[in-house]
């Protein structure tokens, strides 16, 4: 004999029944991530877990070094994290002013950094040798000794 759970059979836990149904739906969503809900009131869970976003944020802000220096990216800070066995990185972020880009690579004993600041914004470029330079919009190239 098997017991079947239903909203009618739930007595003391009836207030928790919607949570059980939601968990069952979420489990199904993770098993079938291509399933699409057309109902805007249905909670849709995909494999876009925050942890994946945190890694992407660390790569763009940490390794490539792109972050807001002022709210709304009016000033873009570019401070790449060079070293640790990583020899090159590139990232771009869409800001309210346009796309900001950072691309760096280690060439021999030098680090080459290419930065694009969107129109209407400024950039604070922080190089590995401690130098900080404020630049306007456009594409800029910097070099410094690695180490």
Residue range 43-53, pLDDT digits in tens? 444 445 555 56
C-alpha distance from residue 104 to each of 50, 98, 114, 124 (Å): 27, 20, 6, 16
Residue range 116-136, pLDDT digits in tens? 999 999 999 999 888 999 999
Q: How far is CA 42 from the centre of its chain?
A: 25
pLDDT band at 34 (very low <50, low <70, confident <90, very high): very low
Q: 118 and 100 in contact (C-beta within 8 Å)? A: yes
pTM of the complete model: 0.64
Residue 37 has pLDDT above 50, yes or no: no
> How are strands ordered across the β-sheet holding 75-78?
66-68, 75-78, 122-126, 132-135
**Structure confidence at residue 144 (pLDDT):** 94
Residue 9 has pLDDT above 80, yes or no: no
Residue range 79-98, pLDDT digits in tens? 999 988 899 999 999 999 99
Q: Which domains are seen in the chain, by residue range? A: 65-145 (2.60.420.10)
**Structure confidence at residue 16 (pLDDT):** 53
């Amino acid at each position: 004999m098997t017991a079947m759970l239903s909203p009618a059979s739930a007595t003391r836990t009836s207030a928790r029944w919607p949570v059980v149904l939601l968990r069952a739906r979420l489990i199904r969503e993770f098993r079938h991530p291509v399933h699409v809900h057309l109902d805007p009131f249905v909670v849709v869970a995909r494999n876009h877990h925050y942890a994946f976003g945190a890694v992407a944020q660390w790569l763009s802000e940490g390794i490539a070094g792109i972050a807001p220096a002022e709210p709304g990216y009016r000033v873009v800070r570019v401070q790449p994290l060079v070293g640790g066995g990583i020899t090159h990185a590139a990232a771009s972020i869409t800001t309210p002013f346009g796309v900001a880009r950072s691309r760096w690579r280690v060439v021999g004993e030098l680090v080459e950094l290419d930065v694009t600041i969107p129109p209407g914004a400024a950039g604070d470029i922080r190089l590995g040798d401690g130098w900080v330079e404020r630049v306007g919009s456009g594409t800029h190239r910097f070099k410094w000794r690695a180490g």
